Copies of this chain bind each other. A is one copy, B any other.
Amino acid sequence: MPSTIVGAIEAGGTKFVCAVGNGPGSGILERTRFDSGDNPARLMREVVDWFLGQQDKHGEIAGLGLASFGPVDLDENSPTYGYITTTPKRGWQHADILGPLRRAFPGVPAIFDTDVNGAALGEARWGAATGLEDFIYVTAGTGIGGGGMARGRLLHGLVHPEMGHMGLPRIDGDDFEGVCPFHGRCWEGLCSGPAIAKRAGMPAESIPPDHPAWDLTARYMAHAFVNLTCVLSPRRIILGGSVRKAGRLGEEAFLGKVRTAFRDVLAGYIQSPSLDERGIEDYIVPPLLGDDAGVCGAIALAQSVAKTAATPERSRRESIGTSVGHIVS
């Protein structure tokens, strides 16, 4: 059986989603989830056991992709490469999550990146960023994070982007002090799910569509997107995570408010058809892979290092050329 499936892990602070497959939708052959809990070593043993079982069932895994919540160490030359680093999450400080996978699958190439870079890569391969070399993927939910690509490469750097902690202008008359324990009114402190709930004094799902919290959140989101556009000049901004769904207001209405506020804040400074009244509809968009962006991203990461990186179409073509002659359908 040819090595056309990979192992993928979307490592979140609440749950770890594990999958084997070669793409989105029916390309995901099996998936499962584990509560993250407070014992990463034990969790990783469960994860390894699950993948070993999958390998018995589906054949050799050609690569492993691990897209993780952070902060993480992405420096391959660092002794703590593949670790969660300084998270406040109990039990998870300086937790090695890549090491157990590498030791259990010594011959399998494994790759590690942030959850948002994973989701960005998934959207680049199969979703809202296909064909784009410069774009940003943001997730806004319990927290806010961002990843993406510049000139076709995932953003890394000194550590990795921590876009959610960018500072934003105060909107006139708004005295909400934000919820970030580090910065108060940073983007995450103003636009995360907990921030919206605190501002409105009720759970985000309960906020009426005409409550001012939605307008303010959309406008701060627009300020953040304008800053991203000024710094990176992305060709598209993809907004994932639960905040965009905007409870009783709804996703389309919320994104509409963000788009209108974006053009208002930018004030016509940057000229591009992508930023005009029609273009903006395709500039600020939800993820095409929806809530599977993360796990699909981990698949895409794994494929980028796999011994036989393969989408279904490619694996078919490649299989035809092999002595095995088995066509994967």
Q: Taking beta carbons and an 8 Å cutoff, which residues of A are in contact with B?
A: 71, 85-86, 134, 146, 150-170, 182-183, 185, 223, 226-235, 265, 267-272, 274-275
Taking a contact as CB atoms under 8 Å apart, the answer to whether B272 and A158 are in contact is yes
Q: What does DSSP make chain A's interface, helix, strand, loop or mixed?
A: loop
User: A159 with B270: in contact, given A167-B227, A265-B167 (CB under 8 Å)?
Assistant: yes
Closest to A274 in B: B158
Contact of A234 among B157, B162, B230 (CB under 8 A): B157
User: In angstroms, how far is the closest chain B Cβ from the Cβ of A156?
Assistant: 6
Taking a contact as CB atoms under 8 Å apart, the answer to whether A233 and B166 are in contact is no
Taking a contact as CB atoms under 8 Å apart, the answer to whether B182 and A267 are in contact is yes
Closest to A165 in B: B230
User: A155 with B162: in contact, given A167-B169, A231-B231 (CB under 8 Å)?
Assistant: no
Taking a contact as CB atoms under 8 Å apart, the answer to whether A272 and B235 are in contact is no
Taking a contact as CB atoms under 8 Å apart, the answer to whether B226 and A160 are in contact is no
Contact of A151 among B86, B156, B170, B229 (CB under 8 A): B156
**A227 CB contacts on chain B under 8 angstroms:** 166-167, 227, 231
Q: How many copies does the complex hold?
A: 2
Contact of A233 among B134, B157, B168, B226 (CB under 8 A): B157
User: A271 with B86: in contact, given A134-B156, A230-B165 (CB under 8 Å)?
Assistant: yes
User: In angstroms, how far is the closest chain B Cβ from the Cβ of A9?
Assistant: 23
- 22 A-B pairs with C-beta separation under 8 A: A134-B158, A146-B231, A151-B153, A153-B153, A155-B233, A156-B233, A157-B234, A158-B270, A158-B272, A158-B274, A159-B270, A160-B233, A161-B233, A164-B230, A165-B230, A165-B269, A166-B230, A169-B170, A170-B170, A182-B267, A183-B267, A227-B231
The 10 closest A-B pairs by CB, nearest first: A157-B233, A150-B150, A134-B157, A151-B153, A167-B169, A166-B230, A182-B269, A166-B227, A182-B267, A231-B231
User: A231 with B156: in contact, given A151-B151, A182-B269 (CB under 8 Å)?
Assistant: no
Contact of A231 among B134, B154, B163, B275 (CB under 8 A): B163
**A157 CB contacts on chain B under 8 angstroms:** 134, 150, 232-235
**A166 CB contacts on chain B under 8 angstroms:** 226-227, 230-231
**A229 CB contacts on chain B under 8 angstroms:** 158, 162
Extra A-B contacts (11), CB below 8 Å, given A150-B151, A183-B267: A71-B270, A134-B158, A151-B153, A152-B153, A162-B269, A163-B230, A166-B230, A166-B231, A167-B169, A167-B226, A231-B232
User: In angstroms, how far is the closest chain B Cβ from the Cβ of A40?
Assistant: 19
